[in-house]
Amino acid sequence: MTRLTGQEAERQAAQWITEWSNALANELAPYEAIQAFEVAFDALQRAEELLNLPLELKDKQLMQEIAGLPFLDIIAVSRSLKPIADGLAQQFDAPVVGRLTMALREMCALATTLAARGIPAAEMLSSGGGALAYIQSRRRLLLAVVHSIPTMCRGTQPLPAHGALGRLLEIVEHMGVGIINMHHNVMLARVFPDFELAFDTQSRGVLANRCFEALDQAFLEPERVGIMEMPTDRIDHSKFLPVSSKVIFSAAELNNDLIKIAGAYAEFNLQDTSYGALSAFIMKILPDVTGHYLIKLSRARLLELMEELDLPSALRMRLVVDCGDFVQNTCTHAPFTAVGETVVTSVVLLSRFAYHWKNVCLNRVRRYQIRSGFIFEGTLKKALEAQGFKIQDIKRVNRAEFDVVAVLEGVIYNLQCKNNLVDLDRIETDVKKFARYNRTLDKAYAAALDKERGREQVLMTKLGLNKVKHYVISRFPVATDNPNVFAFGEIQRFRVLAEAA
C-alpha cells in the first residue's frame, strides 16, 4: 500500500484526473456524434423517468415490488418484469411502460456487471430501490457525459441503443466518479495538512483519510431556501394546466413548475429579474415539446427567440452547452446541448435550469439573504423537533441574541445558523479560491463558537440546566476538523452525533 501526503498526494490526484479524463474521452471517441447523442438522450430520459416513478406511480404496492427487485439475480428479475409491465400499463401509456421496463433491464444488467468486476457500487444496485438511489447519485455525471458526446465523439461507429443506459453509467462509474472524487481530494489536500492518499496499484483501490460531502443525503445541491420551505399562498393555481397521469413528464408540468417558482418567491419580485425573461422564453417554446419530453430547435431559431424576447446576455451565455470538457460539464446547469446545427433539451432540464436561475437572480438580493436566514432557522427547528429536541422560545436574553436553542435530556443545545453561500462548482473550476474561502469560513465559525461558549452561563441561568453544547449549523458544507460545525445536509444524523460527542 502506497501512502502519499501533502503536495505529493495532490499531484497524484491531479495525475489520476488527467488519466481518467483521457480514458473517458477515448471511450466516447469512436462513436458518431449525432447518432450517439440521440441514443444517449433517450437513455437519459429512461433514467429520469425511472427516477421519478415513485412520485408518479399511484399503485404503491407495485412500487414496493419494483423497489424490492433483486437486481443481482437476473433470472428472478426477468420473471418479474412481465407482471410489472402489466401493472405499469394500468396507468401509463405504452411508450412510458416500454422505457421503464427497458431501464429496469439495463440497471439489472449493470448491477451484475459491476458485481462480477468487484466494483463496490454493485452493492447499492442490488435492489430496484437501490438502483433509484444510484441513478440519483450519478445523475449529474451521467448528464455531463451526455453533454460531452457531441464534442468527444469523433468516429463513425453507432452507439448501440440496446443497453445504452448501462453503457453510459459504466463510463460514469469507471472514470467519472473517480475524476470528481480526485477533484475533492485535491481540495482536501489543500485544506488539511495531514491529508493522506493510500492506494494499491494492483487493486487500483484508493482511500483518503478525509472526505467531503458536497450534496445532501438525497444527493441534492444545497441552496439558501428550497421551494418546499417557501409559503404557497402567492402561487396562482388558476394558471395551472392539467397534467396527465399517463406520462411522467410533460409540457404542462413544466408550465406549472414555472408558475410555482414565480409564486413561491414572489415576495422577492422574482419575475422582475431576468428570471421573468427566462420564464417567458420557456413558455414560448412549450409548443415545441415532442413526446412529452424532448425539445429540439435550430440554432437560428434559438437566436431568433433570444432577440425577440430580449434575453439578457448573461442568460444567453448560460443556455447552451457547447463543450467537450467532462468536468466543466458537471458544473453546468445549461439546459440545451449543441448538436450540429440544432440545440436539444428536455422539459426536465428546462425546469432544472429555471430553478437554478432563480437562485442566480436572488442570491445577491440583500432582502432575500436576510429572509432566507430566518427561514433556515425555522427549517432547522422542524428538523430538530422530528428528532425529539424541545425547541425553546428564546431569541434574546438581556443583550444576548440566539438563533435556535433546544433541550434534549437535560442538555441545552445552542445552535447558530450560518447561511453563507458556498459555490461548490469551484472545487472543480477554481480549487485555490474554494480552499481559501473554506478556510475563511472555518475560522469564522470557530470564532463564533468561542463567542457562544463565553456566554453559555446566560442560557444555563435562563433554563435552569447546567450543561450546554454549542454548534454551528451551516446551510452549505464546509471542509473542517471542527466537530461542532455541522452541515445541514447531514442534519438527520445530528442527534446521534451530538449525543455521542
Domains of the chain: 2-208 (no CATH), 227-362 (no CATH), 366-500 (3.40.1350)
C-alpha to C-alpha distances, 398 to 96, 403, 457, 462, 470, nearest whole angstrom: 62, 15, 12, 10, 19
Classify residue 382 by burial, with Cβ atoms within 10 Å: 0-12, 13-18, 19+: exposed
Distant-in-sequence contacts of 385-388, Cβ < 8 A, 24+ apart: 387/492, 387/494, 387/495, 388/495
**pLDDT score at 200:** 80
Our CA angle for 265, 271, 273, nearest 5°, is 105
Given a contact cutoff of 8 angstroms between Cβ atoms, the answer to whether 362 and 262 are in contact is no
C-alpha to C-alpha distances, 231 to 223, 234, 262, 270, 315, nearest whole angstrom: 16, 7, 12, 14, 27
Q: In sequence order, what are the residues at sequence separation of 6 or more whose Cβ sits closer than 8 angstroms to the Cβ of residue 405?
A: 391, 392, 394, 412, 413, 414, 415, 459, 463
Q: Which of 142, 159, 134 has the alpha carbon at shortest distance from 45?
A: 142
**pLDDT score at 214:** 85
Can you tell me the distance from the alpha carbon of 60 to that of 81, in angstroms, rounded to the nearest whole number? 17
pLDDT in tens, 415-429: 999 999 999 999 999
Can you tell me the distance from the alpha carbon of 52 to that of 386, in angstroms, rounded to the nearest whole number? 26
pLDDT in tens, 254-294: 999 999 999 999 999 999 999 999 999 999 999 999 999 99
Our CA angle for 370, 373, 377, nearest 5°, is 150
- Residues in the chain predicted with pLDDT less than 50, given as ranges, are none
Can you tell me the distance from the alpha carbon of 358 to that of 278, in angstroms, rounded to the nearest whole number? 10
Q: Which residue's C-alpha cell is 501526503?
A: 5
Grid cell for residue 216:
445532501
CA dihedral 181, 476, 336, 104 (to 10 degrees): 60
Single-letter code of the amino acid located at 489: G
**pLDDT score at 203:** 55
Q: Can you say whether the dihedral through the CA atoms of 197, 202, 204, 205 is positive or negative?
A: negative
**pLDDT score at 264:** 97
Can you tell me the distance from the alpha carbon of 267 to that of 368, in angstroms, rounded to the nearest whole number? 9
Given a contact cutoff of 8 angstroms between Cβ atoms, the answer to whether 304 and 281 are in contact is no
**pLDDT score at 201:** 66
Classify residue 475 by burial, with Cβ atoms within 10 Å: 0-12, 13-18, 19+: buried
C-alpha to C-alpha distances, 316 to 92, 274, 398, 425, nearest whole angstrom: 36, 11, 52, 20
**pLDDT score at 322:** 85
Q: pTM for this one?
A: 0.95
DSSP 179-200: HHHHHHHHHHHHH-TT-EEEEE
**pLDDT score at 484:** 97
User: 124 — phi, psi (to 5°)?
Assistant: -65, -30
Bridge pairing between strands 320-321 and 336-339: parallel
Q: Is 127 left (phi over 0), alpha (psi -120 to 50) or beta?
A: beta
